Amino acid sequence: MMNKEQYIESLRKLKPIIYCNGERIESVVDHPMTRPHVNSAAMTYELACQPEYEDLMTVTSSLTGKKINRFTHIHQSTEDLVKKVKMLRMIGQKTGTCFQRCVGFDALNSTFIVTHKVDKECGTNYHQRFVEYMKYVQENDLMIAGSMTDVKGERSKKPGQQADPDLYVHIVERRDDGIVIRGAKAHQTGMVNSHEMLILPTTNLGPDDKDYAVACAVPVDAPGVIHIFGRQTNDQRRLQGDIDTGNAEYAIVGGETLTVLNDVFVPWERVFMCGEYQYAQEYVETFAAYHRQNYGGCKVGVADVIIGATAAMAEYNGVPNASHIKDKIIEMIHLAETMYNCSIACSAEGQKTLAGNYYVNTLLANTVKLNCTRFMYEISRLAHDVAGGFIATLPYEADYKSPVTGPYIEKYFAANPKVPTEHRIRMARLLENMTGGTALAESMHGAGSPQAMRVMLYRETNLEHKKSLAKKLAKIEE
């Protein structure tokens, strides 16, 4: 396993092509726009080396028998699934943001399942290739960026029907030594500070779309790969100080990118699906269920911080004991624990797959994420209600530090005389940045839009069984 410093040093050895705000980023570790995302992911390495978190953060590999970071593990029990959720909540509490390794974690486990099934039914050897790749990932403690989401183009058309064939990642050449792929992946969490990307199909495919049925592993700095760093709410504040940033150490969400693949070569040993279009939908749904399981962990860890910040703001404002304030904080707690309960439930109700690893209860996993699309907004709304409107209208940090205007801000933004004005301002900025813009949009659309969860809930619910229960009680015989 790597520690925090080794992880950071490993990134220095990579040479990805990254553009941000019209300029190229030469060092993802040192640039102020990307460094907070590095810090957040580094926490997953740091905690794995601390004895008090060993049980959650580490596990014995089922492939090598060695101690590994849980983020590179193939789930071997429902206990593993439960510990994953508990681990995510704990790290979310410590970073207050996305720590970026979940997508790759879920891509690895879903690929383990699907490659096994494809091999069994099609006579391919993808699974053994993938097992060897997993050993490589575990031995080197790599951070993998799960790359599922394509840019999609015209939503009403399938990949093969698009006016531009590159709007979904596809195979443009099959060679004796590998394949060549082209296209782009969007919203790529943690991409610029990952070691590799694991590319997955993004939608149900038909016979005309077989070139889009591709799964493979690609280094983030492979020839032909270009990353365009996405803009986040208030991200330019990172260049101006630490108070206005709110969460200066760990940023806002996950440092998402548009990752362009310009005729990227992938050797066969790193190809895990090549044209088996009939398995694309199962691949997507398997990955999605794993990823939706996460939200009652990582998002609840973030919610814990928001709730704490809201309670602190009530104290700083001088109203911690007001009954309506307590009621709102209780509601925030209720919403957070409801999300957590769903994640624990979908994990505990998981089942062993034919591939040998463990998979979550799909119905409950989709319930987790659908709740998050609502509850994180409501938690944020209540935080705004309790904190007050000044979290959206505070003067600049530079004005607070100015000898001319600073004394006025110090005087007129004071509230509880026992609390320094700076503490109140810092907590307000933390809430502002954690409860608005990019953070909320990710709660809505990360791991799929609400409609995607609704489709899965209807599909996974056995309505005929429910109707039979009602008919039996109503004494209706058919």
> Which residue in the list 298, 342, 346, 372 is annotated as catalytic?
298
**Cα dihedral 152, 156, 157, 158 in deg (nearest 10):** 70
> Which residue in the list 291, 340, 373, 421 is annotated as catalytic?
291
Q: Residue 198's closest CA among 231, 220, 173? A: 220
The question of whether 257 is a catalytic residue gets the answer no
> Which residue in the list 20, 98, 274, 372 is annotated as catalytic?
98
The question of whether 189 is a catalytic residue gets the answer yes
The question of whether 256 is a catalytic residue gets the answer yes
Cβ atoms 54, 259 nearer than 8 A: no
> Which residue in the list 46, 73, 102, 111 is annotated as catalytic?
102
Looking at the DSSP assignment, which residues form a beta bridge with residue 228?
A: 19, 258
Could you tell me which residues are annotated as the binding site for FAD? Answer: 189
Q: Is 225 helix (H, G, I), strand (E, B) or coil?
A: strand
Measure the CA–CA gap between 399 and 86, rounded to whole angstroms: 41
Measure the CA–CA gap between 384 and 337, rounded to whole angstroms: 20
The question of whether 477 is a catalytic residue gets the answer no
Q: What is the CB neighbour count within 10 angstroms for residue 224?
A: 15
Side chain identity at 50, as an amino acid letter? Q
> Which residue in the list 276, 285, 432, 442 is annotated as catalytic?
442
The question of whether 216 is a catalytic residue gets the answer no
8, 60, 140 from 46: Cα distances, Å = 11, 18, 15
Could you tell me which residues are annotated as the binding site? Answer: 189
Return all residues near 7 (Cβ < 8 A) that are at least 6 apart: 41, 42, 45, 141, 143
The question of whether 445 is a catalytic residue gets the answer no
> Which residue in the list 124, 149, 189, 435 is annotated as catalytic?
189
Measure the CA–CA gap between 199 and 190, rounded to whole angstroms: 14
> Which residue in the list 295, 316, 340, 400 is annotated as catalytic?
295
Where b means 16+ CB within 10 Å and e means fewer, 329-368 reads: beebeebbeebbebbbbbbeebeebebebbbbbbbbbbbb
The question of whether 298 is a catalytic residue gets the answer yes
Q: Is 142 helix (H, G, I), strand (E, B) or coil?
A: coil
The question of whether 75 is a catalytic residue gets the answer no
The string of DSSP codes covering 429-469 is HHHHHHSSTHHHHHHHHTTS-HHHHHHHHHHHS-HHHHHHH
> Which residue in the list 46, 256, 315, 397 is annotated as catalytic?
256
Cβ atoms 68, 135 nearer than 8 A: no
Q: Residue 96's closest CA among 237, 296, 299? A: 299
The catalytic residue positions are 98, 102, 189, 256, 291, 295, 298, 442
